[in-house]
Structure 1
């Protein structure tokens, strides 16, 4: 895929994570893709694995939305900086709902093959998230 194609795929991927569309998951994520999630020893796999990540975030922040702030693409990779915004309305990391809003940065690196995302290494600012919901000083 071209660099322009990778960038277009990242924009569509943002649509996917904001809607949790199973259709977009199948269109954008390779069946054997691996997603490396902070705090987990093993990656989650494929479209279902990524939907699991989104579900975990939506359980604590049902209105969560990701804004793609910037992106750099080179070869078969793209780096993206997102802002995650939502309201803490459900338990998250053992913290009961507080009703507090969050606005947290995340930096992710994606790898593509044959037009599909085959790998993500994500690094959301979880410490800032925990601070914003009152779970960390």
Structure 2
């Protein structure tokens, strides 16, 4: 991964782990589009990304993302994350269980001028819901 991509991803992980609105505005284009599983319409801009992070934090108040690996090609970054957290609030209809989760996510980011303009995110929602007891394992 190039040093520019490495620096970008380090700042991006800082953003999603802190929910820092200033970093959102620095890293996410105002016109960015985020394709979120389970939502018919994409989210947009820094406010849309903040809403995604807030939704995850609403269910898992201590959630943290760890970047496991990333591959870059021109203006695209494919990144695999591990998400860890404690289920402290309702999530996808499941009341808080206090269970800890550890799940993978694979996201593809499209960048322009050093900012995200598009993201396709694929967290392992089935694995997450299984860990919460919402589906049999």
Q: What interval of TM-score do these two structures reach, taking the shorter chain for normalisation?
A: over 0.9
Post-superposition shift, 1:23?
Answer: 0.5
Matched, 1:87 2:86: yes
Matched, 1:12 2:11: yes
Cα separation, 2, equivalents of 1:3 and 1:50: 24
- Runs ≥4 residues deviating over 6 A: none
Structure 2 gap segments, 5+ residues each: none
Aligned to 1:135: 134
Aligned to 2:69: 70
Post-superposition shift, 1:11?
Answer: 1.5
Q: Determine helix, strand or coil for the equivalent of 1:102.
A: strand
What's the Cα RMSD here?
A: 1.1
Cα separation, 2, equivalents of 1:78 and 1:34: 15
Cα separation, 2, equivalents of 1:109 and 1:11: 15
TM-score, scaled relative to structure 2: 0.97
TM-score, scaled relative to structure 1: 0.97
Q: Determine helix, strand or coil for the equivalent of 1:72.
A: strand
Q: Is the 8 A contact 1:7 1:78 kept in 2?
A: no
**What pairs with 1:40-119 in structure 2 (closer than 5 Å)?**
40-119=39-118
Post-superposition shift, 1:3?
Answer: 3.9
Cα separation, 1, equivalents of 2:14 and 2:35: 20
Q: Is the 8 A contact 1:3 1:75 kept in 2?
A: no
